[in-house]
Structure 1
Amino acid sequence: MGDGGTIAIGGIHHVTAIAADPQRNLDFYAGALGLRLVKRTVNFDDPGTYHLYYGDGAGTPGSILTFFPHVGARRGRHGVGQAAETRFAVPKASIGHWVERLMRHHITADGPAPRFGDGAPVLSFRDPDGLMLELVGLDEPGDAAGWDAAPVPAEHAIRRVLGVSLWLEAYERSAALLTGPMGFRASAQEGERHRYAGAGGAEVELRCAPGFWPGAAGAGTVHHVAFRVPDPAAEEAARGVLGREAGLDVTPVLDRQYFRSVYFREPGGVLFEIATDPPGFMVDEPPERLGEALKLPAWLEGRRETIERRLPELHPPSGRR
């Protein structure tokens, strides 16, 4: 990859996936999993579709999972060239609470079972669209901002997005990108699973699956994985490093209202994003009102009436407790 710059990545910023029914998505993530809906807006590239953001009480970068819920979307297919499992960090002592909570919400889970011999228990399950999720119990899972009326007691709440796994035909070039410009280090291996650790406690697992069928986008699949940088200057530097050092085709900087983004495909075909921490989700809503109203960027405000008419209504999640 070259011996030049390393990107100032501070961990994972968010993971974005595709869903089919927005209300069912809201009920699951803000109800069963107890995340806060921190922003309801639209897909800026397809304003007839919601873009829903879930996270901790303050919408802290690194706690965010977002969805494009396309009503009636067909189910995707998990395969190589995709990010597959998305992992959340929870306190290790809370795994028992989560076993009971998932059962109470009629969510079938496997585990808890350790992986990589590190003793961290892992609960594996799927959302209503089939998106693969894991809760990983850690002795030091990190902190999360709470909020009034949070559906999960603060001591058991999801702390952050711990990491993702990529399913790949071959892992070597993806590993070189991670350990080179992206500043990760190899931390564990178990069979065809290779784990890499980065800043902010982020983990990326590369799962080598030669000959497995390719993934197909659709409901229940990850659209992209975003890594965080502290400011626009670091993002501009990252764009240069990725193009110059890694020889990747990187997009221009795009304004996503709550962060600035550049996108590229890593060597295995997974869409990556570099996103800035600022300006954050409170740029257009106070902390106590996050996620309550449909927020549109200035260039879409003139179309608000049409957009609102096309979007399905959303109601507070059922079964929060």
Structure 2
Amino acid sequence: MLQNGIHHVTAIAGPAQRNLDFYTRVLGLRLVKKTVNFDDPGTYHFYYGDESGQPGTILTFFPWEHAAPGRLGAGETQETVFRVPEGSIGYWTHRLVEKGVVLEAPQQRFGETVLAFKDPDGMRLALGAVPGTEHEPAWTADEIPAEHAIRGFHSASLLVTRAAPTGAILTDIFGFTEIAREGSLVRYKAGDTVLGGIIDLREAGEFPRGRSGAGTVHHIAFRATTDAVQAEMVKKLAENHGIRTTEQKDRDYFRAVYFREPNGILFEIATDDPGFAVDEPAETLGQALKLPRFLEPKRARIEAVLPKVV
């Protein structure tokens, strides 16, 4: 079965320990990989997800200790939404208030209850209540009951000047279909993909462009089940849309190509394999600092400059 949808979302953060505390201890996600930015190895690259870090559950960060705050604008991922059980919005409202998190009142979006909030760097997040989610397996942190735990991505909302050109990429390349409209939002769904199967395009017109920095999304990655599927997407992008991608880059846990879609958002196409258990046992994911082979000889130097985290 061909699975489309979101593979992962990668964002920029401030201090590493604060980021780690929020996503593992407040939201209860699992740190599935602690590595470094392959292009800037003096910086961590944290991957959070479910127990195994399945595609469609993975939120990743480059935490720079002194990163200047970003500014949301057109040509960016506006909001990353997680799935929670339908009866869990009350629990999460209480928990987030208790933890001092900035949040909005629950709202209705396409008939679903959504609780929007921000992380410590101001990144826009939300919880979407999905019926039946309580029956799915859940990774749980110590104090979050399994019946309320996050179950991967619900959707991502992209802020665009014009929705149609991005919609054409979603449908032709990534297998999405437009399913609904509500105000300035256009909703796309990737077949029967459960995790990360929804993209909302928010058409903003001539809205100011964003500025990259802490609290903003660096790129959003879409799934390719295999190298062959990824290559077919690359070919189609060039032939049907005149868009060329980067060469394939080996990120150890998946293989990736990158391109700017028509509204300027950085898109990635990432393979499902080999996954996060390729260099450490599944039961101890995220505990040790893992480095790609080409950086292993520099481990001592890298560990000396990385901030200590617990």
TM over 0.5: yes
Match of 1:318 in 2: none
Match of 1:319 in 2: none
> Is 1:255–2:250 an aligned residue pair?
yes
> Is 1:308–2:308 an aligned residue pair?
no
- In structure 1, what residue type is equivalent to 2:161? E
Q: Deviations over 1:3-24 (max 9, x none)?
A: xxxxx55221110000011000
Match of 2:4 in 1: 10
> Is 1:113–2:107 an aligned residue pair?
yes
* Alpha-carbon distance between aligned partners in 1 of 2:299 and 2:166, rounded to the nearest angstrom: 41
In the alignment, structure 2 segments of 5+ residues that lack a partner are: none
Post-superposition shift, 1:294? 0.4
Find 2:214's aligned residue among 198, 209, 219: 219
> Is 1:207–2:202 an aligned residue pair?
yes
Find 2:53's aligned residue among 54, 59, 62: 59
Post-superposition shift, 1:150? 4.3
Match of 1:274 in 2: 269
SS of 2:229 mapped into structure 1:
helix
Q: How does 1:83-122 map to 2 (within 5 A)?
A: 83-116=77-110, 118=111, 120-122=112-114
Deviates more, 1:306-315 or 1:161-170: 161-170
Post-superposition shift, 1:108? 2.6
Find 2:73's aligned residue among 79, 82, 105: 79
* Alpha-carbon distance between aligned partners in 2 of 1:236 and 1:145, rounded to the nearest angstrom: 33
Match of 1:245 in 2: 240
Question: Once superposed, what is the RMSD of the aligned Cα atoms?
Answer: 1.4
> Is 1:182–2:174 an aligned residue pair?
yes
CA gap of 1:145–1:174, structure 2 versus 1, over 3 A, is same
Identity %: 51
Post-superposition shift, 1:143? 3.0
Post-superposition shift, 1:180? 2.0
Equivalent pairs, count: 305
Match of 2:116 in 1: 124
Post-superposition shift, 1:179? 2.0
Match of 2:139 in 1: 146
Match of 1:166 in 2: 158
Match of 1:4 in 2: none
CA gap of 1:151–1:56, structure 2 versus 1, over 3 A, is farther
- In structure 2, what residue type is equivalent to 1:222? V
Find 2:227's aligned residue among 224, 232, 244: 232
| Superposed structure 1 runs of 4+ greater than 6 Å apart | none
In the alignment, structure 1 segments of 5+ residues that lack a partner are: 1-7, 316-321
* Alpha-carbon distance between aligned partners in 1 of 2:136 and 2:42, rounded to the nearest angstrom: 35
Find 1:34's aligned residue among 18, 23, 28: 28
Post-superposition shift, 1:140? 3.3
Taking structure 1 as the reference length, what is the TM-score of the superposition? 0.92
